[in-house]
């Protein structure tokens, strides 16, 4: 399965999805102009990955900001991880948030309440 590596910009997050090396990470700021087209390859990759996932998937979010449109897609990503978890595979979400950012901390807490996967919140 081919890895996805997207360099982050001021408006789009850096994304690395590399099953071979156990790297699953989204970091930076997420406010792309067209959220659907930006995240479509990510969602498609996760669909393909979910057909034959690793025994353990550790997905890291290190976002410093995301807009409302991105929040829906982030939930879509988490729901795909929940689907993987429901097949008996181990899934751990690591949600990093800046020490002084209560909004990002609360966003992680809300996502953790919605999806049925192991969730770690870590300040950085």
What structural domains does the chain harbor? 4-123 (3.30.750.24)
pTM for the model stands at: 0.95
Residue position matching structure tokens 């976002």:
63
DSSP letter at 100 equals: T
Q: How far is CA 51 from CA 8, 14, 46, 87, 89, in A?
A: 27, 24, 9, 10, 12
- Read off the pLDDT band of 1 (50, 70, 90): confident
- pLDDT tens digits along 69-123: 999 999 999 999 999 999 999 999 999 999 999 999 999 999 999 999 999 999 9
Yes or no: say if 63 and 13 are a contact pair by the CB < 8 Å rule. yes
Radius of gyration of the chain (CA): 13
């Amino acid at each position: 399965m081919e890895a996805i590596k997207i360099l982050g910009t001021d408006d789009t997050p850096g994304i690395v999805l590399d099953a071979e090396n156990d790297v699953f990470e989204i970091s930076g700021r997420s406010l792309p102009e067209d959220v659907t087209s930006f995240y479509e390859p990510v969602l498609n990759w996760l669909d393909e990955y979910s057909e034959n996932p690793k025994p353990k998937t550790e997905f890291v979010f290190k976002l410093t900001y995301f807009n409302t449109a991105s929040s829906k897609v982030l939930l879509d990503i988490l729901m795909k991880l929940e689907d993987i978890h429901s097949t008996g595979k181990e899934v751990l979400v690591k949600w990093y948030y800046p020490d002084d950012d209560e909004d990002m901390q609360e966003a992680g807490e809300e996502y953790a309440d919605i999806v049925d996967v192991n969730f770690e919140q870590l300040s950085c």
